Amino acid sequence: MLQEIEKIIVNRQQQPKHQNDALGILLEAKDEEGNSLTLEELKDQILLLLFAGHETLTSAISSFSLLMAQHPEILEKVRKEQENLNITEDITSENLKEMPYLEQVLKEVLRLIPPVGGGFRKVIQEFEFEGYRIPKDWTVQYQIAQTHQESDTFPNYQTFDPERFSPENMVDKQKRFGYVPFGGGLRECLGKEFARLEMKIFASLLVRKCHWELLPDQNLEMINIPSPRPSDGLKVKIF
């Protein structure tokens, strides 16, 4: 795999203009002294993007499957939207734009059970938060799940409700950094759009081609390390 990644990188380095994608951004990146990433560093970063995306994607799709099995009325609406598209061949980019309800559902999955626990930031200016002084240069951690439980932004936050993200509500747009399944700011997840694309395609295929239900006598309590998943895995019957 590393050999194939290296071939792609070298080929892209020889092109006069870099494309506006993850590799293109890495090729354009420079440090404070104007140095670009070395070939080895580029290979490491691309490999990290590929593998880091798989663990979190598995968690997100498992959460989608779990929540759909627990909310059959919502799954039925997702299924109806897919049936109306009448997709007979491979999913196209135009097809993906015609799945607004699935988009709402996936956003709510990521709100309720975010695949990543949080992130770290370095404080660049001293500030006070709820009576606590946070000094400059401290490293602080933000919690994604707790951010998504702010009752002002997400009333009844413990309830699975895709209507939060309907065009009429769009709660993810109401408060800056109120919805951060991929982090936020300049350090937002580099693979965000790739992950969203994978989730949507996988969910669409799963809904159109499979029916499933949870098997009885399993522990669905979530384990959060390294990524959220049910204690007993997710045991389903597919038919």
Binding-site sequence positions:
189
Using the CB atoms, write b or e for 171-207: b if 16+ within 10 Å: bbeeeeebbbbbbbeeeebbbeebbbebbbebbbebb
| Contact (CB, 8 A) for 46 and 23 | yes
**Dihedral through CA 53, CA 57, CA 58, CA 61, nearest 10?**
-170
Which residues line the annotated binding site for heme? 189
**Contact (CB, 8 A) for 147 and 195:** no
Q: How far apart are CA 221 and CA 226, in angstroms?
A: 15
- Using CA atoms, how far residue 74 sits from 41, 59, 162, 216, in Å, is 44, 20, 8, 21
Q: How many CA atoms lie less than 13 Å away from 11 in the CB half-sphere?
A: 7
What is the gyration radius of the CA atoms in the chain, in angstroms?
20
